[in-house]
Amino acid sequence: MDKPKGHAAKPAPEGRRDNKPQFKQKPKANYDGWLWGAHAVEAALKNSARQGLIRLFLSEERTKSAPPALFKRQEIKISTLPMSEISRLVPPDAVHQGMALHAPVLEGESLDDLIERDARNGLHVILMLDQVTDPQNIGAIFRSAAAFGVKGLIMQDRHSPPLQGVLAKTAVGAVDVVPFARVTNLSRALETLSENGYVSIGLAGEGEFNLHELLAQQGWGESLKKLVLVLGAEGEGIRRLVAEHCDHLARIPMPGGFESLNVSHAASISLYESCARR
């Protein structure tokens, strides 16, 4: 017997199983190549190593007050926008101060070029980061490196974020000041540095000597003039193989009894010991 008309189920449209409303997923914002904040943007504009088209976005107030020398590069395209429009270009919580910039991300240089650059004169301190991945920590380390006159910074290629966005804002321009290199293998990089006269010290709680004592023992500033300070990720510290390739392990004494420091704070203390306390 035929079913009564009007009771047959209406076939669902192809690709759908029900009549629930379908919502398109909001595309993820892409902030690759973006910098914001006065210090970060001004340092980027002064850095001749930044190649390719640079798009600079300024508020009306910033357009009036910015030094003309910042805009003499031919590859810069400048746009003046209201503050609210600049805010739409960068992440919602970004403090851009009326300045934002979009440009190719800095790639760094080779380890050989970093060593050659560092071989010119004076004392030479290089920082190496072992799987430090937090952008704010890396930005703060760049800032300290610039403040203490570090000759270069080495990061692992696969485990470090691009030098842009929050990282560059935290560094307040230091990513365009401190030379850096990305390497595939930190242990091999330590071997290369050793062949070029560097002594490497890994910062670790199990170090036999505190950093100040060890630097004095090694004749830092007199017989020793090339130094690599190796810092590991917070919590895990320096990985075993990297630690084995360090010439020495040293600790930062903490008489208060607390077990560890934020890696950016450890970097600042280590740089004070090696660059300023002498």
Report the chain's mean pLDDT, rounded to a whole number: 86
Mean pLDDT to the nearest integer, 54-83: 87
Q: Report the distance separating Cα 212 and Cα 203, nearest Å.
A: 12
pLDDT band at 16 (very low <50, low <70, confident <90, very high): very low
The string of DSSP codes covering 121-142 is: SS-EEEEEEES---HHHHHHHH
Residue 134: both structure tokens together: 């937090």
CA distance 92 to 86: 10
Q: Mean pLDDT across the stretch 39-63?
A: 92
Q: 11 falls in which pLDDT band (50, 70, 90)? A: very low
Percent of the chain with pLDDT over 90: 66
**Beta-carbon neighbour count of residue 239 at 10 Å?**
16
Place of tokens 């910062």: 203
> What does the pLDDT read at residue 4?
43
pLDDT tens-digit profile of 212-259? Answer: 999 999 999 888 999 999 999 877 889 999 999 999 999 998 887 776
- Quote the pTM value: 0.85
Q: How confident is the model at residue 120 (pLDDT cuts 50, 70, 90)?
A: low
Higher per-residue pLDDT: 11 or 204: 204
* Strand order across the 226-232 sheet: 180-183, 152-156, 124-130, 226-232, 199-203, 248-251, 209-210
Model confidence over 121-178: pLDDT tens digits? 677 999 999 999 999 999 999 999 999 999 999 999 887 899 999 999 999 999 999 9
Question: What CA–CA distance (Å, rounded) separates 154 from 70?
Answer: 29
Whether pLDDT at 5 is above 90: no
pLDDT of residue 26: 40
pLDDT the model gives residue 117: 78
> Where do the domains of the chain lie, and which CATH numbers do they carry?
34-102 (no CATH), 111-276 (3.40.1280.10)
Does residue 21 surpass a pLDDT of 50? no
Distances in Å between the Cα of 61 and the Cα atoms of 42, 46, 57, 66, 99 are: 15, 20, 12, 9, 10
* HEC per residue, 72-93: CCCCEEEEECCHHHHHHHCCCC
Task: Give 105's pLDDT tier (boundaries 50, 70, 90).
Answer: very high
Which pLDDT value is given to residue 118? 60
How many other C-beta atoms lie within 10 A of the C-beta of residue 53? 10
DSSP, collapsed to helix, strand or coil, labels residue 2 as coil
